[in-house]
Structure 1
Amino acid sequence: MKPFLILQLRPEDAAADEEFQAFMARGGLAADQAARVRLDEAPLPALSLDDYAGVIVGGGPGCVSDDPAEKDPLEARIEADIMGLMPEILSRDMPFLGCCYGMGILGAALGAPVGKGRFGESIGGVACEITDAGARDPLLRALPSQFRALVGHKEAVEALPEGAVHLVASAPCPFQMIRTGKNVYATQFHPEARGENFANRIDIYRNRGYFAPEDADALSDAVMAEEITVPEKILRNFVQRFE
């Protein structure tokens, strides 16, 4: 059985470790089913995608729409590493799940506009709705047509990429989940996260511009009060489909 390649972008140890454990637990992954690479620690090593069942990209503080001249050097290198994989992933229709930051990566790789001007969402829960096309998708079939998910992002895909399928929408951010080909997915929400995961991230990222630092405690209380059950089923379905 081939492992899933899990690419992480978070430079904070606590955030990276918590996210990885969430992917493992919510995805139902055994230890031998995951190959973890923290791109904040070193450039992407030479690898063959033939060795992996699929690729999962986690979230992080970077934004693909940031001005290249002002982009943090580490974030720029991480972005370049992931973007360098996308042509092969897309050409071979390799199983891929980009989460939050991964939506920007997939959108940019497909030539869609990605920016901060329209569909950013504050940290918290959001009501999502599965589209008609989404109801026919293998990852979403048999799930409730409406569900709550946890979000928090400055940038978003601003138009559906050419040839992509719109799977999940929300009122604040229309493109919550998309697919291109048969196997390449991205979610704007975090399919691995429950309230406790977001409360941890709120503490870590309180000074990264996602919210006013003085609002951290109230935001933590709000996400802990959310009942989040469906997004992790999407992650589990992805793993089960391609393992």
Structure 2
Amino acid sequence: MTGSEIYHQEGGKGEFQFQPGPIFANIVLADEINRAPAKVQAALLEAMEERQVTVAGKTHRMEPLFMVMATQNPVEQEGTYALPEAQMDRFLMHVLITYPSVEDEVEVIKLVRGEETAAAAAGETKQKTEPPPVIPQEAIFSARREISAIHVSEAMERYMADLVYATRTPEVYSPDLARWIEIGASPRASLALDKCGRTHAWLSGRDYVDPQDVRAIVNDVLRHRLTLSYEAQGEGKSPDQVIDEIVAQVSLP
């Protein structure tokens, strides 16, 4: 995953050279990450948090444009390894993807059929299809700079911190929350709310963050950072239901 030291010999002299692994890319997709052994999952920790990899005592920096995306298949249980809480916390968001609607699935059928037809036609004429246009990296960096400039008032900062703090002191807000939450969110949750809130405001065409921006992304930010109690699981409570209750209990700024 991260790379290794390869012994290279030339001209009668030999030395170890670092061979970068697949993690040295702009966008890394770890498909079905819960099927990867724990050792592979742990290899992502330093790269995701520090944007660097250490091999044989040497540090190798990642590219400025670096992002890790991962998928999990909740259906398959055999041969899977649950991600530890420390690694889950490194992911900015946990987005749930459900089955598509009937209309969307019809569009998927048409899209795949069209791709197969185009590929077959290209093969018969021995023509190479044109690759899709590449988005320049500067466009990503420019968007990041604009998002960093989005205004966040002190009231909104306090609101985001209150939401996270409520996961750690649920007894202050509701007896039910106290029964449902075993471990609350870490400070990374507050940082993620701030970053995702500013991004949502930017996508909405505004230069400031309001409560609707935070509420739009709070479930995606917190659902993988809460550890529910056995009592909550016994009552069939999902992380989203607990988060919705937190949002209802915490006062708006």
Fold shared per TM-score above 0.5? no
The answer to which structure, 1 or 2, has the higher relative contact order (CA under 8 A, 6+ apart) is: 1
Q: TM-score range with shorter-chain normalisation?
A: under 0.3
Which of structures 1 and 2 has the bigger CA Rg?
A: 2
Given the two structures, how large is their TM-score scaled by the length of structure 2?
Answer: 0.23
Given the two structures, how large is their TM-score scaled by the length of structure 1?
Answer: 0.24
> Which has the larger share of strand?
1
